Amino acid sequence: MIRDLCDGQLEGAEIGSTEITFTPEKIKGGIHTADTKTAGSVCLLMQVSMPCVLFAASPSELHLKGGTNAEMAPQIDYTVMVFKPIVEKFGFIFNCDIKTRGYYPKGGGEVIVRMSPVKQLNPINLTDRGCVTKIYGRAFVAGVLPFKVAKDMAAAAVRCIRKEIRDLYVNIQPVQEPKDQAFGNGNGIIIIAETSTGCLFAGSSLGKRGVNADKVGIEAAEMLLANLRHGGTVDEYLQDQLIVFMALANGVSRIKTGPVTLHTQTAIHFAEQIAKAKFIVKKSEEEEDAAKDTYIIECQGIGMTNPNL
């Protein structure tokens, strides 16, 4: 996809290859289509293309096809409800239109992402978590799965959260995806916690054959609760998705996190190698974090400037 976004040269990008050679050229805007032809994640296509098209010569429209709610990748609901509002703090906005949802193993989903280029990215400072003010979410079924499955996932998740957080109303909507907006069969849930300072955390889970609905709901709830315990301002899955933007921004960015994931360490390694950004990861020294596994990731961004604007 990135080769096509910039008319670059790419060698060795096939299954079984251990080495690729990529020579980028000028990033161009316009309409681009990328199709995984499987349930491969449209969110991962978006993740890799977004930093590029921000520095294109003109606005971009990305038609991304594959899985929208697939394992081992963010669900599209996470991308829209958590990643989007936070990443837009870097000083750009994008529009994500979910045309069709696609699930494992068939895929067949499509989203259209529209965004305009920027001159530079602003640094971010996400170090004040505030307190949780809202918990909400959606539990979905698509295709042949009965609506009761959505209701059961939602109810089990609510029960699980209530054990730990008693003073907040937990609003999880059960949803039957419309037939014309979903391809194949699937079920899953995403639950989001919002704080007084605008931080967003999520827990999510996807149904699999033979796993009962309650278990799916509880898994998402437990993931959310774990992400609320560490005192960071981002959840474990947002961490690594912000690294590239921090590296490119013009100035010092700081985010407070729970334990630093291997994904994040990998992203930092490559951002330092390729972009020459400088990162410092240190334990948070604030009193309220003393007993917790909380870190500050600080980055001196390279101040990438769009040569086309």
Return binding residues for ATP: 47, 237-241
> What is the strand order of the sheet 125-126 is part of?
125-126, 252-257, 295-300, 278-283
Check: CB of residue 107 under 8 Å from CB of residue 40.
yes
Angle between helices 236-248 and 262-275 (to 10 degrees): 10
Check: CB of residue 281 under 8 Å from CB of residue 295.
yes
Q: List for the chain the helix, strand, coil content (%; round to 5).
A: 30, 30, 35
CA distance readout (Å), 80 to 75, 93, 98, 188, 287 = 9, 12, 10, 16, 33
Residues 96 and 81: their CA atoms lie apart, in Å, by 11
Measure the CA dihedral 279/283/285/289, to 10°. 130
Residues 154 and 173: their CA atoms lie apart, in Å, by 7
Check: CB of residue 111 under 8 Å from CB of residue 68.
yes
230 is a catalytic site residue: no
Structure-token match 């996932």, residue found: 153
Of the listed 32, 230, 263, 269, which one is catalytic?
263
Residues 111 and 52: their CA atoms lie apart, in Å, by 18
Half-sphere exposure of 44 (CA within 13 A, CB side): 12
Half-sphere exposure of 271 (CA within 13 A, CB side): 27
Instruction: Find the DSSP H helices in 70-164.
Output: 76-78, 84-87, 147-164
Question: Which residues are catalytic, by number?
Answer: 263
